[in-house]
Amino acid sequence: LQRLLETLKGQANVTKDGKTIRIYCNIGSPEDVHAVQVNDGGGIGLFRSEFLYLNSKDYPTEDEQFEAYKTVLSDMDGKEVIIRTLDIGADKQIGYFNLPKEDNPAMGMRALRICLTRPEIFRTQLRALFRASAFGKLGIMFPMVTSVWEVREAKRMCEEVKRDLKKEGIPYGEDVQIGIMIETPAAAVCSDRLAKEVDFFSIGTNDLTQYTLACDRQNNDLGRFYDPHHLSVLRLIQMVTENAHKNGIWVGICGELGADLTLTETFLAIGVDELSVTPRSVLPLRNAVRMTDTRETAPRILADLAEDYTAR
């Protein structure tokens, strides 16, 4: 198998009937870029920026962040790199943020909510990101979105940061794509509206499953109740993809589900544009894509997703 996978390096992610899909990687630190290159990832679909904050005793400075982002962008040599803004709270806690103790942290002050409530932290990260954008092909995405107003506010801060950088004579890329994660049912259901605000969607199936099924992703006792294959999750993915495409933007999946080979045919049938997975999953996934003929698989899969079982 390893030999077969080796032969897939440099090959296209194309189905037997000529449909292509981008296979990107999820990384958690600049050191992971090596694994992306070794496994022939097409880009980085999710760079979890939390490591900078987790490995630090205090808020990382703008320059520290800039150096880390710049390293990844330069090392990726012009390939697309999507960096997610700070996603702490809930399952990702950091002491010096002094977040109040919450009874329901998964539904609490987390991710973009913290960034919009404490704009000085957000602004520092955005400045570092835009400065780094001069060194490669950057996309920025915001986690845990539920509403259009949050996206507008985050975008307004991006505009302010760019305006300041321009004033200070600091270069930044002119074509930074702005996207959001779709990982709450609210965002999925309103994805037609949200699609008009951004350049891309990235579906976070770990949280989307948690919130859709009301199942704590950390609670192993829930076992089969935490089911990312649940029809409701798959239908939301389908709906988000359709709303993205109707509005001319692309959509990816960056949750664990993207690497689930039993769903590769489903994601191809739905028409997802990008799957972002751990580097070691790139070649197995490419293999699965290349084995698929959507003319054979898609009709059955789409009928299953749509089927009204009560009519049987």
Contact footprint for Mg ion (CB under 5 A) = 183, 204, 207
183 lies in the site for ligand PEP, by CB under 6 A: yes
48 lies in the site for ligand PEP, by CB under 6 A: yes
Q: CB–CB of 109/102 below 8 Å? A: yes
d(Cα 130, Cα 159) in Å, to the nearest integer? 10
Q: Which is nearer to Mg ion, 5 or 222 (CB)?
A: 222
Q: CB–CB of 217/226 below 8 Å? A: yes
Report in angstroms how near the CB of residue 90 gets to ligand PEP at its nearest: 8
Q: DSSP string of 20-76?
A: B-EEEEEESSGGGHHHHHHTT-SSEEEEETHHHHHT-SSPPPHHHHHHHHHHHHHHT
Q: Per the annotation, does 207 bind a ligand?
A: yes
206 lies in the site for ligand PEP, by CB under 6 A: yes
Half-sphere exposure (CA, 13 Å, Cβ side) for 2? 0
207 lies in the site for ligand PEP, by CB under 6 A: yes
- What character string, x for contact with ligand PEP (CB under 6 A) and - otherwise, covers 229-268? -------------------------xx-------------
Report in angstroms how near the CB of residue 46 gets to ligand PEP at its nearest: 6
DSSP letter, residue 100: P
Q: Is 254 a catalytic residue?
A: yes
CA dihedral 113, 238, 286, 259 (to 10 degrees): 50
Q: Per the annotation, does 3 bind a ligand?
A: no
Q: Which sequence positions are flagged as catalytic?
A: 254
- What residues line the site for ligand PEP (CB under 6 A)? 46, 48, 87, 183, 204-207, 254-255
Annotated binding site: 48, 84, 183, 206-207, 217
